[in-house]
Amino acid sequence: MLRVVRLQDRTGRYYLGDLARELDASSMHDGDGRSFARGGRWVGDGAAGLGLHGTVDAAPFASVLAGRHPTDGHRLRLRETRLSAYDLTFAASKSASVLFALGGTRAAAAVRSAHEEAVEAATAYVAEHAATVRRSEPDGRLASPVDGLVAASFTHGVSRALDPHLHSHVVVANLARGEDGRWRALDGRGLYAHAQAAGSLYDAVLRHGVTERLGLQWVSRHPRGWELSAVDPVLTGPFSASPACCLDADVVVSACAPRRMGGDARPEGPLAVSRGAEGALGRGRSRPRLRRGAHHPGAGVPRDR
């Protein structure tokens, strides 16, 4: 699933402040020898063209959100705009998230790897087909392709309510270089027009990756869509009402601001440490309650053997 949200914040504090500690060591490596860095990482040819690679740091992230060069701070986007970025949130199906959280070390690594591959494929699709800038021509303003996205990806394992919810925020700066070499704001119409296609691509790649790595099959469960047949739907039900992380352009920063949560009990596994920013506005559900709910009679999650 993909949701596109417009952002106005130019600090990136919400994304940088959440270290996603629930992503423990079991989900930081996969069977193919790849490792996943904790925190954000730069993605997109546009970011690479600006010398942005690896882990996301606060200063360059804030610079690109403000339309400036990440190194010397000079203005790239000449025209001011209130819109700093687009948050492309790719979320795994509820059963895949539950398997990631409770299925054991091997399952967590496999689902995380499939999720990251799906995010990469969908982001590449957006860069090639959906990202454009508008430039003035004698015949009017035309949509022009861009030289890649300037984006940062942040992966989390739980929702603000601390329910299992594997998802990635791909924060695409409202900044791109057109064919003429000039930097402009993105034309957001293409992002929204291609959101359904990009989301469907993400879902398909995720399903393929999980099946390829774990041999599990999928079934259609209307209206939720495709879910893992090995995960009992009784288990996914209690975790299906998690609120969205980002609300809208006017409230996204204040609505997602971190707050301290009470309670010291913590379970084992990928959900062992409570969230910072995204756990802040949860409904107060504790981790022990999540564990008890996950193991009531009739619930089933395939475990590592």
Pick the closest to residue 151 from 133, 129, 130, 169 (CA basis).
169
Cα–Cα distance between 287 and 265 in angstroms, integer? 7
* pLDDT at residue 73, as a whole number: 92
Cα–Cα distance between 187 and 197 in angstroms, integer? 17
Strands 140-145 and 132-137, by their bridges, are antiparallel
Average pLDDT value for the chain: 78
Band of residue 144 on the pLDDT scale cut at 50, 70, 90: confident
Return the structure tokens found at 37.
């860095």
Contact criterion met (CB below 8 Å) for 261 and 278: no
Cα–Cα distance between 163 and 239 in angstroms, integer? 6
Q: Determine which helix (DSSP H) or strand (DSSP E) holds 210, and give its type and residue range.
A: helix 195-214
Return the structure tokens found at 109.
């690594």
Please state at what angle helix 195-214 crosses helix 94-102, rounded to 10 degrees: 40
Band of residue 35 on the pLDDT scale cut at 50, 70, 90: low
Other Cβ atoms less than 10 A from the Cβ of 161: the count is: 19
Higher-pLDDT residue of 222, 247: 222
* pLDDT at residue 159, as a whole number: 85
Return the structure tokens found at 295.
């193991």
Dihedral angle computed from the Cα positions of residues 206, 210, 213 and 218, in that order, rounded to the nearest 10 degrees: -130
pLDDT tens for each residue of 82-104: 999 999 999 999 999 999 999 99
- Distances from the Cα of 216 to the Cα of 210, 234, 295, 302, angstroms: 7, 18, 20, 9
Q: 221: burial class by Cβ within 10 Å (0-12, 13-18, 19+)?
A: middle
Under DSSP, is residue 303 helix (H, G, I), strand (E, B) or coil?
coil
Amino acid letter, residue 218 = W
* pLDDT at residue 158, as a whole number: 87
Under DSSP, is residue 11 helix (H, G, I), strand (E, B) or coil?
coil
pLDDT tens for each residue of 45-66: 999 999 999 999 999 999 999 9
Angle at 226 (CA atoms; ends 221, 229), nearest 5 degrees: 75
* pLDDT at residue 171, as a whole number: 97
Whole-prediction pTM value? 0.78
* pLDDT at residue 129, as a whole number: 95
Q: Is the pLDDT of residue 23 over 90?
A: no
Beta strands per DSSP E along the chain: 2-7, 41-43, 85-91, 132-137, 140-145, 151-158, 164-173, 176-177, 183-184, 218-221, 225-228
Q: Of 104-108, 115-119, 295-299, which has the strongest mean pLDDT?
A: 115-119
For residues 16-28, give the mean pLDDT: 67
